[in-house]
Structure 1
Amino acid sequence: MLSHIERKVLRITLNMAITRKGSPTVRDLCIKTGRSPKSMLAVIRELEQKNYLTYDGQEIVLKEHFLQHLY
């Protein structure tokens, strides 16, 4: 089960990907959630471990299986 902040990060990432054809930066997520970069990186790592997204240090990409469950 996802925590509140994990759901929020996934929603923000999905909405930004849909509306502006890109993925949010860690800075974007920090601004929108009010979290510190260190805290945001911990959330991103947790979502990576749960296989919801990938993060290569620059780009956050949602996994295909996650997107298929939305439609």
Structure 2
Amino acid sequence: MLADIERKILRILYNYSAGRRRMPSMDELMIKTGKTQKDITRALINLEDQLYIIWDNKKLVESIRILQGWEQREKPARPTSGNTDYWTQY
């Protein structure tokens, strides 16, 4: 599960790439998020570790490539018993 800042940055990156056909600069990310450069860099590294983005050149935010534009949602586990649960629990 993504932290709030990571989710926000991921959405900003996605919206910039789709709407403006480019990635935002670090200054634009700082304005949009209200966070420091250190906080943004930490969040971007976390996004890369969780395979949401690829960030080859850590000096340029513009070099980021998005792998997933949305947060992954965990699917609920399916019951292992037969269909009797439907009749007894619902």
Quick check: TM above 0.5?
yes
Q: What secondary structure is seen at the aligned counterpart in 1 of 2:65?
A: strand
Alpha-carbon offset, residue 41 of structure 1: 0.4
Corresponding residue for 1:7? 7
Alpha-carbon offset, residue 15 of structure 1: 0.4
- Rg (Cα) greater in structure: 2
Structure with greater contact order relative to length (CA < 8 Å, sep ≥ 6): 2
Alpha-carbon offset, residue 60 of structure 1: 1.9
Q: What percent identity do the matched residue pairs reach?
A: 33
Alpha-carbon offset, residue 27 of structure 1: 1.7
- For the aligned residue pairs, the C-alpha RMSD in angstroms reads 1.5
State the aligned residue count: 66
Letter of the 1:48 counterpart: E
Gaps of 5+ in 2: 72-90
Structure 1 stretches of 4+ moved >6 Å? none
Corresponding residue for 1:38? 38
TM superposition score normalised by structure 2: 0.67
Corresponding residue for 1:47? 47
TM superposition score normalised by structure 1: 0.83
Gaps of 5+ in 1: none
